[in-house]
């Protein structure tokens, strides 16, 4: 038997790569289009569409403008949005007093979106950093450290306020201990048993959040968030955090950021059968945009490859600033 004959007997994986149709036929991982979530920043005022310099293509919107944006998102197939409220600086204080205000910016936005587009799923980020004048995610004790249990009280009240406004899913991102249990108890006691909790279960103290802090005006006035967000070197700790949130009643768990933590995402996927989300954060978005603007990469191919990597690592849900553009381009 000559070499050509022997070669014909060997498996030929390349046969299945010969055309786009064949590659699509045997593709193992596909992006869940229904699982792409678009983050939105909501501010006070009217008819406000305010570009964010470090995140090209992303804006801050007033309530009326965010409804118009949601109509566009719905038209291209976005099924869910994640709201971040940015109140006027003059309204902030040390205790995040306005976070649970029924007339707060998130509450008004949620009501307006659900009135206009009842089919759109509204998720509200639940934290205090945008509402405190010091920029930390909780209420501070006299030493300047975050008081865990006092912060839980604010989170629980705010979750109920969001549910009253029509929010479908509350998403605590503060990384306080026991927050999922406190929020679940408060929601259930107030009759909001159908309001789901998407927990930022493994949220790392990451440098990838830089552009977001500009967008949300939430940079800490002093110190950093390393005493409550996770150390980037820890993976086993992430599994502990996820287990605790699952035991406390989380309906969905999330890993944040995405690309530098795909190994963590994969481990969490093996740990739980709950729906698993990942947040493709602002710094990851900005790096792609900057490299594409310089002509160094093909943006569309990079986005496709990046979202596929997250799905391949186990994500059912991907929160990404690319959701609208990806769905519009691939429909």
Closest CA to 138 of 218, 70, 60, 78: 218
> Are residues 283 and 207 in contact, defined by beta-carbon separation less than 8 angstroms?
yes
Active-site residue identified among 92, 114, 203, 324? 203
Active site residue 114: no
List % helix, strand, coil for the chain (3-state, nearest 5): 45, 20, 35
Active site residue 240: no
> Are residues 107 and 121 in contact, defined by beta-carbon separation less than 8 angstroms?
no
Closest CA to 58 of 215, 213, 207, 206: 215
Active-site residue identified among 92, 114, 256, 289? 256
Closest CA to 244 of 225, 227, 230: 230
Structure tokens at 223: 């110190």
Distance, in Å, from the CA atom of 125 to the CA atom of 111, rounded to the nearest integer, reads: 15
Range list of H helices, the chain: 3-8, 20-25, 63-76, 105-116, 148-164, 179-189, 210-216, 236-248, 262-271, 282-293, 299-313, 323-330
Q: Which residues belong to the active site?
A: 203, 256
């Amino acid at each position: 038997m000559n070499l050509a004959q022997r070669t014909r007997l060997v498996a030929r994986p390349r046969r299945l790569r010969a055309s786009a149709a064949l590659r699509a036929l045997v593709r193992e991982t596909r992006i869940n289009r229904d699982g792409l979530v678009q983050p939105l920043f909501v501010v006070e005022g009217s008819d406000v569409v305010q570009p964010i310099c470090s995140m090209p293509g992303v804006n801050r919107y007033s309530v009326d403008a965010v409804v118009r944006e949601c109509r566009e998102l719905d038209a291209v197939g976005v099924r869910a949005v994640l709201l971040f409220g940015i109140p006027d600086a003059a309204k902030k204080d040390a205790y995040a007093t306005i976070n649970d205000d029924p007339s707060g910016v998130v509450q008004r936005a949620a009501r307006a979106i659900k009135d206009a587009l009842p089919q759109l799923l509204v998720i509200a980020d639940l934290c205090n950093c945008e509402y405190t004048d010091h920029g930390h995610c909780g209420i501070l004790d006299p030493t300047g450290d975050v008081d865990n249990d006092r912060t839980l009280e604010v989170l629980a009240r705010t979750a109920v306020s969001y549910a009253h406004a029509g929010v479908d899913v509350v998403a605590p991102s503060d990384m306080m201990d026991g927050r999922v249990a406190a929020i679940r108890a408060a929601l259930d006691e107030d009759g909001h048993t159908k309001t789901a909790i998407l927990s930022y279960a493994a949220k790392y103290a990451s440098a990838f959040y830089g552009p977001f802090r500009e967008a949300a005006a939430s940079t800490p006035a002093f110190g950093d968030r390393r005493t409550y967000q996770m150390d980037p070197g820890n993976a086993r700790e992430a599994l502990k955090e996820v287990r605790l949130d699952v035991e406390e009643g989380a309906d969905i768990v999330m890993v944040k950021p995405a690309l530098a933590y795909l190994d963590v995402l994969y481990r969490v996927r093996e740990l739980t059968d709950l729906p698993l989300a990942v947040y493709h954060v602002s710094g990851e978005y900005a790096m792609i945009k900057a490299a594409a603007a310089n002509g160094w990469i093909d943006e569309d191919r990079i986005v496709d490859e990046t979202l596929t990597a997250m799905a391949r690592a186990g994500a059912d849900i991907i929160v990404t600033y690319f959701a609208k553009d990806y769905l519009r381009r691939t429909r």
